[in-house]
Amino acid sequence: MYFMRASSHPLSNCTLSVGMQLNFAISMDISFSQGWQYSQKKIQTSMWCIHTTFFSFPQCWELGMSNSPSLRLAFSSCLIMALTTISTSAANRDVLRKVIDEVTCWIAVAEEEETMILQDLSDYHVLEVQLVLRQALQNVWTEPLGNKKVMVKKVSPQHRQLLENSSCDPCQMELILLSARGFTNLFQILVEAKKPLVGHNMLMDLMHLHDKFYKPLPESYEEFKRNIHNLFPVIIDTKTITKSMKKNYLFPRVSSLSEVYAVLCSSSLNPKDPLWPVIALASDCSRYAEKESPHEAGYDAFLCGSVLLMSAHLLLCRSTEDSVEAHPSFSQYLTVLAEHVNQVNFIRGGVSSINFSGEDAPCHRPPALVVHVQGWPGLNERQIYQEFKGLCHFDVRRLSKNQFILLSNKYKHVRLVLRDYKHHPHLPVSVYRHWRHSPRVNCLLQVSGIVALWSLLAFVLGGAPSCSL
C-alpha cells in the first residue's frame, strides 16, 4: 500500500503555464538548438513577484540567508522597503494611513500593557502593518490573532527588547525570510533530497523551476540539460511511460493526466487482483477520492503518482515470467522503469523525448505542410485552424502574408490533408520545402537575382574592356 500526501496549502493552487510557442520548436528547418533558444526566450517572465512569493531570484536569498550581520541587515531593510513600496496603490495607502492614525491617537492616552485590536486586515496587511508599527513606534508590540486581526500593545522599551529576543515572535526576520522565500524552500528540499522527481509532460515545469528558482534559462540547450540533471538526477515523466505502453497494451489515445488516470483505473487495464497498488490518501486530502480538482497542484500530484505506480505495476507484470511477489518494492518498480528514467516528453520536436542523462535519440516526424491562401485575404491562424479542425488536428503558424505552416505528429493526418486540399481553389496545400517556401531563402534569391541582373546589364552596356599599350 502506498500512502501519498498532497499539499492542501492555498498557494498550491498557483500553477505555472505558458503559451504553446514551444510546439513550433520543430524539426522542419529549425535546428533543435534554435528551437530551444526560441522556447527559452518565450518563457522569460518577470522575476519580481513579491505579492505571491516575494523575492524569487536565488541571489537575493543568498544575501538574505547570509551569516554576515551587515548583509542580513541590508537585506532586511530592502524587504521592509519593498513591502512599503507595494503600498503605492490608493487602497494600500488608505489602509496604512487609517492604522497609523488609530494607533497614534490610542498610544497617546493608553497606559502600559493596554491593548487594542486592529480588524479586517488582509493576509498581506497583517505582516505589513506589524513591520511598519514596530519600526515607527518603539513603545508598541504587535501580535497576529488570526481572522485578519492584529493586537497592538503598549509596552516599555525594556519589555519591547525582551519580546524581540523571544523565539516566539512571528515577525522575527528569520521567519519573515523563510516565509518570503515561498516555494524556494521546497525547491531546495527537492534538490538536496536527490529523490526521483515525477511529473506528467513536465518539460515546461522543469524550465520554470530552472528559470525561477535556480538560474535564468541558458542560451545553450546542452547546458540546460546538464543543469537539470545536476539538480534532479532521477526524473520520471509519466507521459513518456504511457506513450511507450500504447503498443503493448490496449491503451487508447489519450493525452491529459486525468484521462490517463481514468484509463488505468478502468476494468480493461486494471487486473483487480490483490497485488494491484492500493493508494491511500492522507486525511486532509481525502476529498480527492470523491471530487476531481484538475489543475490543483495537490490533486495533480495525486494523479501523477497514481499513474506512475499503476504503469510501473503493469510493466513489472509483463517483464517477469513468474508471478509478481506480494507487495512489490518501489525499487522493483524503478528497475522496470529504467529505460524511461530521465526521458522527458517533447512535443513535435526534433526528438520525441529529451534525454537529460545522455544523447537524445533521433526521431522521424511527418513533414510540415504549407497552406497558400488564394482569393481569401485577411485570414489568420485561428481561421486556418478552424478550417482544418473538422478533418484533423494541426498546429498553425503564419509563414508569410498569404502562407501558413501546418504541423502534425501523425502521418495519417498529413496524407488526409494533402489528399483533400492539394488542389483546393482557395487553400491549396503542399509539403513544405525550405528552399522553396522559406521567406529568408526567397528574399536571398530575389536579392541575388537583382544583383546578377545588374551585373549582366553593366557588362552588356559597358562592352568588353579594350587593352591599350
Q: Assign 132 to helix, strand or coil.
A: helix
Are 145 and 137 a contacting pair, CB within 8 Å?
Answer: no
Upper half-sphere CA count for residue 453 (Cβ side, 13 Å)? 6
Helix boundaries (H) for 215-296: 221-231, 238-245, 257-265
| Structure confidence at residue 445 (pLDDT) | 79
| Structure confidence at residue 49 (pLDDT) | 30
Q: Radius of gyration of the chain from Cα atoms? A: 31
Question: Does pLDDT of 58 surpass 60?
Answer: no
Question: Does pLDDT of 343 surpass 80?
Answer: yes
Domains of the chain: 2-42+186-355 (3.30.420), 60-180 (no CATH), 369-442 (3.30.70)
Give the position of cell 537575493.
60
18-32, 74-88, 164-178: the lowest-pLDDT one: 18-32
Is this structure's pTM higher than 0.75? Answer: no
| Structure confidence at residue 100 (pLDDT) | 82
Model confidence pLDDT, tens digit, residues 202-259:
999 999 999 999 999 999 999 999 999 999 999 999 999 988 887 777 777 777 888 8
Question: Does pLDDT of 287 surpass 50?
Answer: yes
Higher pLDDT, 70 or 12: 70
Question: Does pLDDT of 130 surpass 80?
Answer: yes
Q: What is the chain's mean pLDDT, rounded?
A: 75
Question: Does pLDDT of 74 surpass 80?
Answer: no
| Structure confidence at residue 304 (pLDDT) | 92
Q: How far is CA 36 from the centre of its chain?
A: 15
Q: What is the pLDDT averaged over residues 119-145?
A: 83
| Structure confidence at residue 355 (pLDDT) | 94
- CA–CA distance, 364 with 389 (Å, rounded to integer): 24
Q: What is the pLDDT averaged over residues 100-113?
A: 88
Are 319 and 292 a contacting pair, CB within 8 Å?
Answer: no
CA proximity to 224, closest of 208, 239, 236: 208
The DSSP code for 110 is: P
Are 309 and 2 a contacting pair, CB within 8 Å?
Answer: yes
Q: What is the pLDDT averaged over residues 81-90?
A: 52
Model confidence pLDDT, tens digit, residues 173-191:
666 667 667 788 889 999 9
Are 219 and 37 a contacting pair, CB within 8 Å?
Answer: yes
| Structure confidence at residue 208 (pLDDT) | 94
Q: Assign 326 to helix, strand or coil.
A: coil
| Structure confidence at residue 94 (pLDDT) | 79
**H or E element at residue 315:** helix 297-319
**182 CB contacts (<8 Å, ≥6 apart)?**
11, 52, 53, 54, 56
- CA–CA distance, 68 with 25 (Å, rounded to integer): 45
**106 CB contacts (<8 Å, ≥6 apart)?**
116, 152
The DSSP code for 341 is: B
| Structure confidence at residue 229 (pLDDT) | 96
| Structure confidence at residue 226 (pLDDT) | 95
| Structure confidence at residue 314 (pLDDT) | 86
Higher pLDDT, 151 or 96: 151
The answer to whether the Cα torsion of 344, 350, 356, 361 is positive or negative is positive
| Structure confidence at residue 20 (pLDDT) | 27
Are 14 and 178 a contacting pair, CB within 8 Å?
Answer: no
84-93, 292-301, 304-313, 397-406: the lowest-pLDDT one: 84-93
| Structure confidence at residue 5 (pLDDT) | 39
- CA–CA distance, 243 with 235 (Å, rounded to integer): 16
Count of helix runs (H) and strand runs (E) in the chain: 19, 15
CA proximity to 217, closest of 229, 231, 202, 227: 227
Higher pLDDT, 430 or 48: 430
* DSSP secondary structure, 162-231, as one string: HHHT-TT-TT-HHHHHHHHTTTHHHHHHHHHHTPPEEESS-HHHHHHHHHHHT-PPPS-HHHHHHHHHHH
pLDDT category of residue 272 using cuts at 50, 70 and 90? low
2-6, 69-73, 341-345: the lowest-pLDDT one: 2-6
Higher pLDDT, 299 or 409: 299
Q: What is the pLDDT averaged over residues 306-324?
A: 80
Q: What is the pLDDT averaged over residues 80-100?
A: 64
Model confidence pLDDT, tens digit, residues 371-426:
988 888 888 888 888 888 877 778 888 888 888 988 887 788 888 888 888 889 88
Q: What is the pLDDT averaged over residues 5-27?
A: 32
All three cell numbers of 289, joined, read: 477520492
Question: Does pLDDT of 328 surpass 70?
Answer: yes
